[in-house]
Structure 1
Amino acid sequence: MKPFQLTYTAESQSLLREALGEWGISKRTLASVKYGGGQILVNGAEVTVRHPLEKGDAVTVIFPNEEHGKGLLAEDGNLDIVYEDDALLIVEKPPLQNTIPSREHPFGSLANIVAKHFNDHGIPSTLHIATRLDRDTSGLVCIAKNRHIHHMISMQQQEKKMKRRYEALVHGLVEKDEFTITAPIGRKNTSIIEREVREDGQFAETEVRVIKRLPDYSHISLQLNTGRTHQIRVHLAHIAHPLVGDDLYGGKRERLDRQALHCTELELIHPVSGEKLFFSSSLNEDMQALV
């Protein structure tokens, strides 16, 4: 399997270590290159990070091949690929599929199927799922093809350069057309799974816009400005408009046997080319029927 590699051009004189940091190579990634079988070349010759760079030098970072965890079984299954290149894989996850295996659902997860795809196509990477979705939630998922690309995407998320938008159906009629929910989220003391709004929680922010008001529901659009566990579900329950089908946070399953949430848009900067990427996805049939 050919290892993933990137080539940069030095724009000025500097130490190689400093230039690598400016290009987004983290210390952790650098350690994996150094001790895991990777290489750093300057104009084709292997060097150490103390090497002095001249303007115009070509720096090639060869990342070590990665392996799946032994506990992750590669399985056949349908993989709805929206976009793929050497760095990224964007897919559509159907509802009622885990993103990663769990004790209750050890097989058939998106991760299991992506592992098989990587094996079949000689992609030397473990699973780096950058935007996980709950089992019930459908829509777009971003997967990085190595540790460095995952780090670059994580940095975009922290700097709010990556945007994820969702559409949802919630109980009741949401009054305001547009508003922002800013409320810290933490784990509920009485539950391993459930989260809640609490003063000592992590900062969390969700933008909400009403698309359509229906007799019993509101069809809304949401943008995540942070990525806390169960963020949308907790924030909507907090304002007394829980997701339809989300019985963990107060929703009812009379009309839909899963939470009515779909990741419709994903916007990011390509971590290698710097190109702006935009992906969109239509609602699944079950949500579309209610709308």
Structure 2
Amino acid sequence: MQDKSKVTTFKKPSKKHQPAGLSILYEDKDILVVDKVEGLLTMGTDREKHRTAHFLLNEYVKKGNPRAKNRVFIVHRLDRDTSGVLVFAKNEDAKQYLQEHWKEFSKVYYAVVAGKLQDKEGIITSYLVENKAKRMYSSQDPEQGKFSKTGYRVIKETSRCSLLEIDLYTGRKNQIRVHLSDKGNPVLGDKVYGQADRLSKRLALHAASLTIIHPVTKKEMSFKTEIPPYFKTLVKA
């Protein structure tokens, strides 16, 4: 939730008026922040154009008027199967500011991974490269890929899996999933970088919090969500 001492009061719309699959955390004339469910795309693809956060929020800001010029602009993305905090801009200037300063903002995730980690806290770095199949992989060659840095801390563990708090220092495609797979502890439910498992019915990755500088007021704003209850059930002894 946002720091109320630093922002104007925002009254959330009723559930009836919130787009399906999205919970609106904050909105003003420049930004729109939501909590996205797993299974919902951030933006459209050739196969799916309407069942996306971007499309649904464009419909939301038009408020039923198809001729309205109101729209939202994509600032960043979450994978379809990753849930959590997403921020959209409501004008070009806000979009440009947020994207230009994106590396400076704080992003925290929760993940449940297979097995136990030998080091209960650490940093993972590599250069991420995308192959022809659109799959990411790590390289130690700076000429090959883009530098990527992920911090993690074990919150709870069982004999089969571990709950991690993750600091995303760089925001490369599939970064967290690749880095944890590199360690031999893939995110549960990850069919691309992990392996088929029966422990999780979904990708156990959640964008828990995001701290930004507002594009107009220049005040720091933090938006937080709880650890999904499902994640907690996975790490019950």
Relative to the length of structure 1, the TM-score reads 0.69
The 3-state SS of whatever aligns with 1:204 is strand
Task: Name the residue aligned to 1:112.
Answer: 55
Task: Name the residue aligned to 1:290.
Answer: 234
Query: Aligned to 1:273, which of 191, 213, 217?
Result: 217
Using the alignment, how far apart are the partners of 1:106 and 1:256 within structure 2?
28
| Within-5 A mapping of 1:181-192 | 181-189=124-132, 191=133
Kept after mapping to 1: 8 A contact 2:189/2:201:
yes
Task: Name the residue aligned to 2:109.
Answer: 166
Paired letter, 2:175: Q
Using the alignment, how far apart are the partners of 2:150 and 2:198 within structure 1?
26
Paired letter, 1:288: K
Runs of 5+ consecutive residues of structure 1 not aligned to the other structure: 1-75
How many angstroms does 1:164 deviate by?
Answer: 0.7
Using the alignment, how far apart are the partners of 1:255 and 1:176 within structure 2?
23
Change (3 A) 1:237 1:78: closer
Using the alignment, how far apart are the partners of 1:253 and 1:144 within structure 2?
38
How many angstroms does 1:125 deviate by?
Answer: 4.4
Kept after mapping to 1: 8 A contact 2:21/2:40:
no
Number of matched pairs: 212
Task: Name the residue aligned to 1:154.
Answer: 99
| Within-5 A mapping of 1:231-242 | 231-242=175-186
Kept after mapping to 1: 8 A contact 2:124/2:150:
yes
Q: Percent identity?
A: 30
Using the alignment, how far apart are the partners of 1:276 and 1:282 within structure 2?
20
How many angstroms does 1:89 deviate by?
Answer: 0.5
Kept after mapping to 1: 8 A contact 2:49/2:55:
no
- Residue by residue over 1:27-55, the C-alpha shift from the partner in whole angstroms, topping out at 9 and shown as x without a partner, is xxxxxxxxxxxxxxxxxxxxxxxxxxxxx
The 3-state SS of whatever aligns with 1:108 is coil
Task: Name the residue aligned to 1:175.
Answer: 118
| Within-5 A mapping of 1:69-84 | 77-84=20-27
The 3-state SS of whatever aligns with 1:248 is coil
The 3-state SS of whatever aligns with 2:147 is coil
Task: Name the residue aligned to 2:8.
Answer: none
Query: Aligned to 2:152, which of 185, 198, 208?
Result: 208
Runs of 5+ consecutive residues of structure 2 not aligned to the other structure: 1-18
Task: Name the residue aligned to 2:90.
Answer: 145
Query: Quick check: 247-256 or 164-173, which moved more?
Result: 247-256
Query: Aligned to 2:135, which of 161, 170, 194?
Result: 194
* Structure with greater Cα Rg: 1
- Residue by residue over 1:193-246, the C-alpha shift from the partner in whole angstroms, topping out at 9 and shown as x without a partner, is 211012211111111111111120011011111111111111111111111000
Change (3 A) 1:245 1:289: same
Relative to the length of structure 2, the TM-score reads 0.83
Query: Quick check: 100-109 or 258-267, which moved more?
Result: 100-109
Q: CA RMSD in A?
A: 1.8
Task: Name the residue aligned to 1:247.
Answer: 191
Using the alignment, how far apart are the partners of 2:38 and 2:59 within structure 1?
20
